[in-house]
Structures are given as structure tokens and as C-alpha cells.
Chain A
Amino acid sequence: GAVVSQHPSWVICKSGTSVKIECRSLDFQATTMFWYRQFPKQSLMLMATSNEGSKATYEQGVEKDKFLINHASLTLSTLTVTSAHPEDSSFYICSARGTGGFADEQYFGPGTRLTVT
């Protein structure tokens, strides 16, 4: 159990366009989902926390208008990178935390490698 999927696994887009990344919990209900950004050889940088049905909580320094997060259901959260620029190129990883037996365990999606040209 505890499988999290993420789509797409990689995407290349042109500067100025928007990209949507989906994160799904496949076999459990994720009350909370997290979005991370990871630079090469660095740790996970938390961007925002989203709870189903409510607005996401963004970390300091993360532009909420640029990184739009929607957690519409207990199994789906999306991250939209708006007006992407080359400096947004990175590895984006989501994770999901559920209820009951999964209340504190956190499971990661496979990540999305975004390249903005």
C-alpha cells in the first residue's frame, strides 16, 4: 500500500508557458499533500502544504501566484507553475500523508523533472 503517483515524470516547456503537475495517492486518502523542490545534490525544499478542500500554506519565499496548488480531492493535488522561466527548472516531488495508519507516514511521488527553455 501507500503508493503515490506523479504525472508527468518529465516535461520541457518554453519560457512564459504554464505547466501543471499532478500528484495522486492511489490506495489511501491523503488528507495532506506536500510539494517539494529539489536541486541537484541538495535536500528537499518544502514549497507548500495543501490540505484537501482548503488553501495551501506556502513556505516563506515561495510565490503563491507563481506556484498554484489545488487539493481538490483526498486523492489528487496539482501544482501549476505559471509563466515558467529557466530558473524554475528543477525536480519537483510531491508527497502524501494520510489518516489512520498513515497519519504520520509520508510517501513520495516519483518526481517531475521540469526543464524550461
Chain B
Amino acid sequence: GENVEQHPSTLSVQEGDSAVIKCTYSDSASNYFPWYKQELGKRPQLIIDIRSNVGEKKDQRIAVTLNKTAKHFSLHITETQPEDSAVYFCAASRAGFKTIFGAGTRLFVKA
């Protein structure tokens, strides 16, 4: 079946450094790629998303890039802060089909 691989599973960075999380998807028909942030005991929150007609999207300290040819997409967080510590999930989907989630990356930002 379709799947999304996410790396790394755990990431520890110093406050102020950048963090990068990478995902690879298998369904070439996927055209929507959201990223979710989940804090302990809370719901996943959509933080940024990108569609297949765009190669890059930025929102303040967060950016996402998409390489359709390689079926890769990545999340970049710059100037990390302790409150960025959470689990981040990437996902791939297309309208009418279920969303496939990555396994998650646990990000620790050390003050």
C-alpha cells in the first residue's frame, strides 16, 4: 500500500539552530502535503501545507519544500525555540483518498 517515510524519528537541536525533517511518499498522485505539530496529550495542529503545483512555501520561521520528481518534501524550522519542541508529522494525500501519515519526528529544542 501507499506509505510515507519520515526521518529522523528524533531530533535534538540547540535553541536558535535550524531543524530539518524529511519525508518521502510513494503515491505519485498525491498532491497535498500537510505538516502537523502535536504537543503531548493534544491534537495534531496543521502548521503548514504545500500543494504539488508549488515547490516551496514559507510562513515566518517555518518553510516547506517539495520535490515532486523525487517524491520528497521537507520541513525547515529556523531559529528554533523551546516551544517548538513537539512531535511533527508529515502527510501526503489527494482529494477523495485517505491521508497517509509519517511515523513522526520528536523534536527537542534545548535552551
Contact = CB atoms under 8 A, between A and B. Distances in A.
Interface of A: 34, 41-44, 46, 49, 91, 93, 103-111, 113
19 contacts: A34-B98, A43-B89, A43-B101, A43-B102, A43-B104, A44-B44, A91-B41, A93-B43, A104-B94, A104-B95, A105-B32, A105-B34, A105-B49, A106-B34, A106-B99, A107-B46, A108-B43, A110-B42, A110-B43
Contacts of B46: 105-107
A113 B41 CA distance: 9
Interface string B33-64: 01010000111111001000000000000000
Chain B interface category by residue count: 20 to 34
Nearest to A108: B43
B43 A109 contact: yes
B103 interface: yes
